[in-house]
Amino acid sequence: MTDRIEEIIRQRKRAHKRLLDLNSKTYRAFLEMEKAAYAEGNLPVKTKELIAVGISVVINCESCMEWHIGQAAEAGASLEEVLEALEVGIEMGGGPATVSARFALGVMDRVFGDRER
C-alpha cells in the first residue's frame, strides 16, 4: 500500500509541475478555485478538508484521499476526526465506499502512524 501511495504522490507532483510548465490556464484557474474553496471562512479549513475526505471516499478518488487526509491532518484534524469523515463517506456511498475506505485507511496509517484509537 505504501508504494501505491508514494506513486500517487510522485504522479501528482509531476503532473502539477508539468501543467504549470505548460502554462495551463485551466489548471491555474483550478488552483485559484481550490485556494478559494479551502480558504478559512464560515467553515474552518479543517472542516472543509474533512468534507473532502468523505467525498473522496464516495467517488473512490485515491489521489484525493491521499491529498485531503494529509491536508486535514495539517489543518489539525485528529485520526479520530478523519475516521469519522471516512465513516460518513461509507454511509453515503454504501458498499462500494467500504472498498475505497480500505485505501483511505492505508493513507491514515501513513499520515498518523499505525496506531490504535
* pLDDT tens, N- to C-terminus, the chain (117 residues): 789 999 999 999 999 999 999 999 999 999 999 999 999 999 999 999 999 999 999 999 999 999 999 999 999 999 999 999 999 999 999 999 999 999 999 999 999 997 665
> Locate cell 478559512: which residue?
40
Q: What gap in Å lies between CA 16 and CA 63, rounded to an integer?
A: 13
Single out the residue of 94, 68, 93 nearest to residue 81, CA to CA.
68
Q: Domain residues of the chain, as ranges?
A: 2-112
d(CA 22, CA 101): 34
- At residue 97, what is the residue type? A
Q: At 111, list the grid cell.
A: 499520515
**Is the model's pTM score more than 0.75?**
yes
Q: 18 is written with which cell numbers? A: 508539468
Are the C-beta atoms of residues 46 and 76 closer than 8 Å to each other? yes
CA distance 83 to 106: 12
**Cα dihedral value 89, 103, 99, 94, nearest 10:** 0
Supply the CATH classification number for the domain 2-112.
1.20.1290.10
